[in-house]
Amino acid sequence: MGRRIRHIIYLILILVIPGCALFAQQVQVAARIDSTSMLIGNQTTLRLTVAFDAKNGVPKIQWPQIGDSLVAKVEVISKSKIHTILPDSAQPTLQQQIEEITISSFDSGYYAIPPFKFIINGDTGNPQLTEAMMLQVNTVHVDTTKAFKDIKGPIQAPFTILEVLPYIGFGLLALLVIGAIIYYVLKNAKKKNVVAVEQPKIILPPHVKALEELEKLVNRKLWQEGKIKDYYTGITDILRVYLVERYDINALEMTTDEIMLAFRRRGINDKIKQKLNEVLVLADLVKFAKENPLPSDHEFCYHASVTFINETAEIQMPAQSVEPVTEPNPQLQ
């Protein structure tokens, strides 16, 4: 049994090893420079090529690692990606992979470029090598037999209208801005020189303002639309503002009891004070106790508020406030 296994192993080695050797022999590597002679500072292209017959499969190729220079004073400008050239119809299994390297040199002389090493299928013992090359870098030929000439001065370019257009545009824009500033200054100066006469503003008495606000509130028909709380809030707000302006009572910050207590020292008819109290108390019940008054109560609150304002109104001539008159500025005359 052991002898049979050894025969099988020997047979596999006999079949595989020659195939690997044949496969390795089918890979060919090459390196070529477009021009082996160039002027200093110019560029040329170095091409690395790997060719193989793909009928037995694509080999695993390890390309040479190239840094910033090939040799001293021969610099690598750029490197392309490795690309594959598709086979032609005559040789359908032949494939080529190419890497292009742009090189240059800024020192004249002869430079030996050593072979490039390729590792095929991990066989580091038998690397594939390209041929060594020679690169010649030449300087610019100078004829020393002729006299030196002065450097030519700058050539005067012909004048065109396009060169002046930007300056014309900036000049027109500057004139426009200056004109706008002058117009603005003169316009304001003329306004300051004119006597400002304002129409007098009529300040309505507190009772007139309150009655107008009550009429606006009723016209909104709040309680008819079910907005009872808004209706009573509006009435009490109008009354409280009226008390502030008419009696200088801080009614906006007072409770109903505090407002009525402040009226004890006022010379107001008790029946009138009672109407105010009934309106404020009913409004508190609606706002805080969710009371739902009858329509007659809504109308009573409105009429009671109107009666209270009319009975407590201070009859006086409407006060007027006149804005100060601006006198002419002598400096602008």
Nearest residue to 196 (alpha-carbon basis) of 9, 294, 326, 41: 326
C-alpha span between 323 and 326 (Å, rounded): 9
Find residue 43's DSSP bridge partners.
104
CB atoms within 10 A of CB 71: 13
C-alpha span between 256 and 251 (Å, rounded): 9
Answer whether 0.75 is exceeded by the pTM.
no
Structure confidence at residue 237 (pLDDT): 93
Structure confidence at residue 203 (pLDDT): 81
What mean pLDDT, rounded, does the chain reach? Answer: 80
Structure confidence at residue 3 (pLDDT): 52
Largest alpha-carbon pair distance within the chain?
138
The per-residue pLDDT for range 79-137, each reduced to its tens digit, is 989 888 877 666 777 888 899 999 999 998 999 999 999 999 999 899 999 999 999 99
CB atoms within 10 A of CB 137: 21
Nearest residue to 48 (alpha-carbon basis) of 36, 31, 62, 67: 31
Calculate the CA dihedral of residues 235, 236, 239, 244 and round it to 10 degrees.
-150
Stretches in the chain below the pLDDT threshold 70: 1-25, 88-90, 143, 148, 159, 191-200, 315-333
C-alpha span between 244 and 230 (Å, rounded): 21
- In angstroms, the Cα distances linking 159 to 55, 122, 163, 168, 176 are 70, 69, 8, 15, 28
- In angstroms, the Cα distances linking 251 to 14, 188, 234, 259 are 117, 47, 14, 6
Say whether domain 2-138 belongs to CATH 2.60.40.
yes
Locate all alpha helices (DSSP H) within 26-72, ordered by sequence.
none
C-alpha span between 283 and 7 (Å, rounded): 116
